[in-house]
Amino acid sequence: MAKIFRSSPRRLPADLATGDPGLDVRLQELDARLTGTAAVRRPTLQEARDFLLEAREHALNAGRDPVEAAEEAVVGLGDVGAIAAEQRSRLKNVFFGQALRSGLVYGALMTAVSGLQGRYDGAWNDAAIWFRVIGYFMFNAVFFGVFFSCTMTYLFSPRSTPKDRDVRADGFEVGQGKRYVWLAWVMAMLSAASLAMWMAALFGHGPFFPIAPMAAVLLSIMSAHLCVGMVFSAMFRASVTHEAVTVRGLFGRQRIARDAVTEVRDAGILERLASVYVAPSLIVSWRDDGGAVRRSRIPSTPEFASIDRLRAWLDDAIESGRTR
Amino acid sequence: MANDTGDEQILKGLLDTLVLHVLREGANYGFGIHERLGQVLGTEDAGLMKEATLYPLLHRLERNGLLDSYQMPGDRGSPRKYYRLTPSGRKFLERRVVEWRRVTALLGRTVFD
C-alpha cells in the first residue's frame, strides 16, 4: 500500500532556492518533513531560508570560505526534525480550535433547523428521539468542523504575507489577496442565492418548499449574515502610516489617529455573531476629535495580508499612549 | 536517562528566559535573535545555543502566547517575520527572573559554598 500511495519527492519552490547547494539540501530536507500544502509549508521554509542566507552572509563577512560559511549556517539553523515537529503541533492547535468552533456552531444550528422542521416529533421520553438529536448534532458538528477546518484553515492559511504592492515607504496596506476577494464574492453570491431560496420557501415557492416557517426564517438569517459578511470582507481595506490607520469599507472610510487609539481586543463570541463580519474581528476603541470614544471593527483572519502587523501597530500605539 | 531529561528541562527553561530577555529589548527576527543571544551568552557559553534549535523554541513560545509575530519587509525584499513579547510574555519573564534569582541564591548558599 505504501508503494501505491507514495508520492513523488517534493521539490523546493524555485523562488525559495538559495543557489547554494549546501543550504538548498537542508531546505529540501526541511520541506520533506513539514506537513501541509505548499502554502502551509511556505512560511516555515521562508523563515528558515532567510536565516540560512543571513547566517551564511555573516560567516562570509567574518572571513569564512563559502563552504565553511554554509556549514556554519546549517548548524545555526539546528535540527530540521525539531522544526517540523513544532510546525505539526501548531497546525494541530489551529485545526482543532477551528474544527471545534465551526463544529459546535453549525452542529447546533443544523440540529435546531431540523427540530423546527419537525424531525424530532414524538414523545421526549422516547430514547430514539434523543438518539436522533444527538446523532444529527454529531454528524453536523463533525462534517462542518472538518469541512471548515480543512478548507478555511488548511488550504487557505498563508500567514499574512504582505505583497509587494502592499508595502510602501511610509506604511503598509491591510487587505485580502486577489483569490480571497474572489472567494468572498463567490461565497456572497452563493449565500444570496441561498437567501432567495429560503425566502421563497417561506412564502410557499421554490425547491425547498415545504419547510417549517421558523426553519426558513433561521436559514434566511444565516444566509443573509454570511452574504453581508462576505461583501464586507471583500470590500475591506486599511492603509496604515506612522500617524494613522485609514479603514475603508462598504460605507466609506474612517481615519484613526495613532495617538487616539485607547484599546484593542478580540471580539467575543456574541459580538462576532452580531457583527457583519463573518471573520473573527478586532475591536479598536479610539477617541475622535471631539473626545468621544468610538469603536471600529477590523476583520482579523490570516488571509488579510499584514493583519498581524496592524495588530502590532495598534498595540504599540496603546503602549506609547500609556508611556506619554 | 533521568539525568538527561533533567538537563534538557533546565536548558529549555534557561533558553526560554534568555530569548524572552533578548526580546524585551525590542522586536527582532530569527537571525537577529540568534546573533543577540550569541552576544549575551559570550564565547564561553555560546555552545548552549548549539544544543537547542532556535525556531522550535520561538514557535513554542508563540504558541503559548508569550510571543507574537508580524511580517515586515526585510532587506532581501521578501517579508521577514519579527517576534515580540506579549504582555503575558513580559509577566512570565519577570516571574522567571525572580525564580532564577531564588535558585541561584539557594545554590550559592548551599552547593557552591
Rounded Cα gap, residues A163 and B73, in angstroms: 9
Residues A62, A142 share a domain: no
Q: What is the reported pLDDT for A41?
A: 86
Q: What is the reported pLDDT for A160?
A: 47
CB B82 within 8 A of CB B28: yes
| CATH code (residue B31) | 1.10.10.10
**Chain B residue nearest residue A84, CA to CA:** B56
Residues A297, A196 share a domain: yes
The three cell numbers of residue A117 are: 422542521
CA A225, A94, B86 angle in degrees (round to 5)? 100
- Which residue, among A308, A319, A320, A322, would best test binding to B if mutated, counting the most B CBs under 10 Å from its CB? A308
Residues A136, A21 share a domain: no
Rounded Cα gap, residues A278 and A260, in angstroms: 27
Q: Is residue A85 part of a domain?
A: no
By C-alpha distance, which of A229, A239, A234 is closest to A309? Answer: A239
Q: What is the reported pLDDT for B53?
A: 79
Q: What is the reported pLDDT for B6?
A: 61
Q: How many CB pairs under 8 A join A and B?
A: 84
H or E, element range at B95: helix B87-109
Q: What is the reported pLDDT for B2?
A: 42
The complex's ipTM?
A: 0.84
Q: What is the reported pLDDT for A166?
A: 53
From chain B, the residues in CB contact with A161 under 8 A are 71, 79
Q: What is the reported pLDDT for A23?
A: 93
Q: A71 at the B interface (CB within 8 A)?
A: no
From chain B, the residues in CB contact with A47 under 8 A are 30, 55, 81
Q: Is residue A90 part of a domain?
A: no
Question: What are the pLDDT tens digits along chain A (324 aa)?
Answer: 445 555 556 778 888 888 899 899 999 999 999 987 787 888 889 899 999 999 999 999 999 999 999 999 998 898 899 999 988 888 887 778 778 877 888 888 888 888 887 877 777 778 888 888 898 899 988 888 877 767 666 555 554 455 555 555 567 888 877 777 888 899 899 999 999 999 999 888 877 778 888 888 888 988 898 888 888 888 888 888 888 999 887 777 889 999 999 999 888 877 777 766 666 788 899 998 888 999 888 887 766 777 777 888 888 888 887 766
Q: What is the reported pLDDT for A165?
A: 52
Residues A131, A39 share a domain: no
Q: Is residue A5 part of a domain?
A: no
Residues A249, A193 share a domain: yes
As a whole number, mean pLDDT of residues B53-77 equals 83
Distance from CA of A308 to the nearest CA of B (A): 5
Q: What is the reported pLDDT for A171?
A: 75
Q: A78 at the B interface (CB within 8 A)?
A: yes
**Are the Cβ atoms of B31 and A54 closer than 8 angstroms?**
yes
Number of separate domains in chain A:
3
Q: Is residue A144 part of a domain?
A: yes
Residues A61, A119 share a domain: no
Number of separate domains in chain B:
1
**Which residue is associated with the grid cell 514557535?**
B59
Residues A207, A139 share a domain: no
By C-alpha distance, which of B31, B69, B66 is closest to A311? Answer: B69
Is residue B8 scored above 80 in pLDDT? Answer: no
Distance from CA of B48 to the nearest CA of A (A): 12
Domain boundary among A24, A45, A78: A78
Residues A320, A234 share a domain: yes
By C-alpha distance, which of A5, A74, A16, A298 is closest to A174? Answer: A298
**Which residue is associated with the grid cell 456552531?**
A105
| CATH code (residue A277) | 2.30.29.30
Q: What is the reported pLDDT for A49?
A: 92
Is residue B93 scored above 90 in pLDDT? Answer: yes
CA B71, B76, B78 angle in degrees (round to 5)? 40
The mean predicted confidence, pLDDT, of chain B is 83
Residues A70, A102 share a domain: no
Residue A27 structural domain = 11-78
Q: Which long-range contacts (CB under 8 A, 24 or more apart) does A24-33 make?
A: A26/A52, A26/A74, A26/A77, A26/A80, A27/A52, A29/A80, A30/A80, A30/A83, A30/A84, A33/A80, A33/A81, A33/A83, A33/A84
**Chain B residue nearest residue A315, CA to CA:** B86
Q: Is residue A16 part of a domain?
A: yes
Contact residues of B toward A, CB < 8 A: 27, 29-31, 34-35, 50, 52-56, 59-60, 63, 68-74, 76-82, 84
Q: What is the reported pLDDT for A173?
A: 81
Residues A225, A113 share a domain: no
Residues A321, A229 share a domain: yes
Q: What is the reported pLDDT for B90?
A: 92
Distance from CA of B63 to the nearest CA of A (A): 7
Q: Is residue A89 part of a domain?
A: no
Residue B93 structural domain = 2-109
**Are the Cβ atoms of B34 and A309 closer than 8 angstroms?**
no
Residues A247, A138 share a domain: no
What are the Cα distances from residue A120, in Å, to A115, A138, A216?
Answer: 6, 15, 17
